[in-house]
Amino acid sequence: MKPRQNFINNLDEVTSYVFRLSNEVEKRIDKLIHCIEHRNVDALKDISKEDIVVNDLELLINEKIISLITLEAPVASDLRMLISYIKIAEDLERVADNVVNIANVSAEYNIGSEEITNKFKSMLQLSKLMLSDATVAMETKDLALIKELLSRDEDIDMLYIDTTSEAIEKIEDKVIMSQVVLIAKYIERIGDHLENISEHLYYYLTGRQYQ
């Protein structure tokens, strides 16, 4: 096999791992939504145990990319892709960490308020759609979709402000109120990491930082 073809095959393998990692994280967001909706405490606790799959995938991606950069000396465009993949994998792992954080708090505390729970679900559903579309944009190299994704975090931020304001104003139990604010913050951070992923994709396709 020619060296360049071998390198391309290795790039394809790394890309497949990044897609797999994205899909794993999306499944965890989907599971979290279902668990919060039905308050399935056992399933919420399982989310934390399953996080090792995401951690192992991120580690594998990093190892593969470091090996490629070290041994193959990729050209500028390929190097840009590999660096972007490392950053995307890191942000995906951070999303999964925040899913675990939300699951742990939700398992320990019963928020009780259906209205607040629905706001959490809405924020998480926006996050899931954002991640799903980012995966599509990465696969299709759809720059227009990437630019559109970069504005979507504002919707999550608005719901975060709405949710925390409502919790502070209406929830008398200060412990529960603080946990609602904490969960909302974790979801807001998920949105931030998904925005980062869109910025990494923009850099990968254009060679420029998003302004």
Q: Which residues of 26-57 are buried (b: 16+ CB within 10 A; e: fewer)?
A: bebbebbbebbeeeeeebbeebeebbebbeeb
Residue position matching structure tokens 């499944």: 27
CA atoms within 13 A on the CB side of 18: 29
d(CA 126, CA 109): 23
From the list 77, 91, 82, 75, the residue with the least C-alpha distance to 61 is 82
Instruction: Please determine, for residue 191, whether its predicted confidence score (pLDDT) is greater than 70.
Output: yes
- What is this structure's pTM? 0.94
Whether residue 196 contacts residue 119, with contact meaning beta carbons closer than 8 Å, is answered with no
Instruction: Please determine, for residue 2, whether its predicted confidence score (pLDDT) is greater than 70.
Output: no
pLDDT per residue over 132-163, tens digit each?
999 999 999 999 999 999 999 999 999 999 99
> Residue 163 corresponds to which tokens in the numbers above?
């949710």
pLDDT per residue over 86-112, tens digit each?
999 999 999 999 999 999 999 999 988
d(CA 16, CA 20): 6
Q: What pLDDT does residue 77 have?
A: 85
